[in-house]
Structure 1
Amino acid sequence: MLLYGRNPVLEALRDGRVTEVLVARGVEDAFVRELKATDVRVRFAPRIELDQLAGTTAHQGVIAEVEDLEWATVDDILDRAESRGEDLLVVLLDGITDPRNFGAIIRSAEVLGAHGVIVEERRSAPLSPVVAKTAAGATSYLPVAQTKNLPRLIDQLKTDGVWVYGAAGEAARDLRELDYRGKLALVIGAEGEGLRRLVREKCDELVSIPVRGRVQSLNASVAASILLYQALAGREPGGRGK
């Protein structure tokens, strides 16, 4: 798989998944020295060659040949929380098919302390170079798993004591009113469509983000980031709890 962008490539190098790096001629020496310090093979080429390989000019002058990104398992995510002695915090995605939204959510989830992201197998963008580029290296650190049936997974999580909040713009419950302690799953739906009916019905509560402007909805990745930050704040000592 070809991976492009400086942060994703550097993280893949640290993770040992890179076999070769292609660098555009003219890229500054400091970055090239950082690449060469990893002992990976570095090859130089005209920038137009990188444009053609990446299918975009947004590669920041570097493309790497890497092992394909691998899906984790749901158990990997559950074990991650348990091994750290932490209450589970997981993000469930219902129909996020835009790779940039997907990557941005993975990035926010990693930065804000979630234990993983889970998507439904047939209703998600694949783990692609665009996802990895947007995630800015977070795919090297955060497990991302698939499930065949998201509503069924929600039932399984609830049986294990996980409380499930679904984001819905029309929900009466303000996200600032919630208790974020304990095992928690946050469900984010597709832009425009929102959560599917069955997914909505499986959630313990539907929550909304208060808005003040004329535009009454947020990008899915922005909504996920806000909800994750609120969950992080609510789980800190002195955070909101019941």
Structure 2
Amino acid sequence: MIVYGKQVILYLAQHHPQKIEEIYLPKEIDSKLFSLLAKKHPILRLDFKKAQAMARGGNHQGFLAKITPPEPILFKDIKKYNKLLVLCGVSDVGNIGAIFRSAYCLGIEGIVLSVLGNISYEGILRSSVGAMLDVPFCIHKNTLDIVHEFKNEGIYCYGACVDGEDVKNISTKQRWALFLGSEAEGLSKKILSKLDKIISIKIKTDFNSLNVSVAAGILINRMC
């Protein structure tokens, strides 16, 4: 798997060096940084066109790497954690990556990706600046089954919706999962009806929409 971008490559080199197979540099970099990277990883020089092709036209900033892909854990193992996040239909890799980043910073212990279709690990890893490797995650496409399984494990299920109770007024349970819906539709009525409590972020103006990754950060911060 190819990832690119200076900050994500440096984060991987510092925190997950075992994941890096090769580093590719299409331009000269600081000699001290080069020496640091070269101590543990083979470095190959590339021409600019090859680097652009490997990054599929993305802004690689002169840093690319071939890495071992992230590996999801089993759903039965994710149920062992106390503070969980479930992304139901969230599809934008930038949003998912930003959520991973906030989740890791703020204390989420595991994430369930309940999405249809393929998942771009490359995009999520890049937009999370490597944090995807630090939060256990699994893939489970049936959200209603997730709710049922969590409740059987004594995990209290919260859902985010604009009509919910202000998150500032709730006292979270010892074990809980926060369900977030898709960018366009949010959580469906069927899913909302199965959850234990619906919560929201009270907006102080008449602008009633927050990006899902921003909302996730606010909710996690207030719940953890």
Under a length normalisation based on structure 2, what TM-score does the superposition of the two structures give? 0.91
CA 145–48 in structure 1, closer or farther in 2 if over 3 Å, else same: same
Tell me if 1:16 matches 2:10: no
Given that residues 87 and 115 in structure 2 are in contact (C-alpha distance below 8 angstroms), is that contact kept between their aligned partners in structure 1? no
| Other-structure match for 1:4 | 4
Task: After TM superposition, give the deviation of residue 11 of structure 1 in Å.
Answer: 4.0
For 1:47 and 1:76, how far apart are their aligned partners in 2?
A: 43
| Other-structure match for 1:229 | 221
Given that residues 156 and 173 in structure 2 are in contact (C-alpha distance below 8 angstroms), is that contact kept between their aligned partners in structure 1? no
Superposed CA RMSD in Å reads 1.8
| Paired residues for 1:203-222 under 5 Å | 203-222=195-214
Under a length normalisation based on structure 1, what TM-score does the superposition of the two structures give? 0.85
Between 44-53 and 185-194, the greater mean CA deviation after superposition: 44-53
Task: After TM superposition, give the deviation of residue 222 of structure 1 in Å.
Answer: 0.5
| Other-structure match for 2:54 | 53
Tell me if 1:176 matches 2:168: yes
For 1:99 and 1:192, how far apart are their aligned partners in 2?
A: 14
| Other-structure match for 2:111 | 117
| Other-structure match for 1:197 | 189
Partner AA of 1:215 in structure 2:
F
Tell me if 1:149 matches 2:142: yes
Task: After TM superposition, give the deviation of residue 15 of structure 1 in Å.
Answer: 4.4
| Other-structure match for 1:235 | none
Given that residues 156 and 177 in structure 2 are in contact (C-alpha distance below 8 angstroms), is that contact kept between their aligned partners in structure 1? yes
For 1:30 and 1:59, how far apart are their aligned partners in 2?
A: 20
Gaps of 5+ in 1: 82-87, 233-242
| Paired residues for 1:41-190 under 5 Å | 41-79=42-80, 81=81, 88-122=82-116, 126-171=119-164, 173-190=165-182
For 1:202 and 1:12, how far apart are their aligned partners in 2?
A: 39
For 2:84 and 2:17, how far apart are their aligned partners in 1?
A: 23
Gaps of 5+ in 2: none
1:35-54: CA deviation from partner (whole Å, max 9, x where unpaired) = 1122x110122344322210
* Number of residue pairs the alignment of both structures matches: 222
The alignment partner of 1:168 has SS state of strand
For 1:15 and 1:112, how far apart are their aligned partners in 2?
A: 24
Query: What percentage of aligned pairs have identical amino acids?
Result: 26
For 2:223 and 2:64, how far apart are their aligned partners in 1?
A: 36
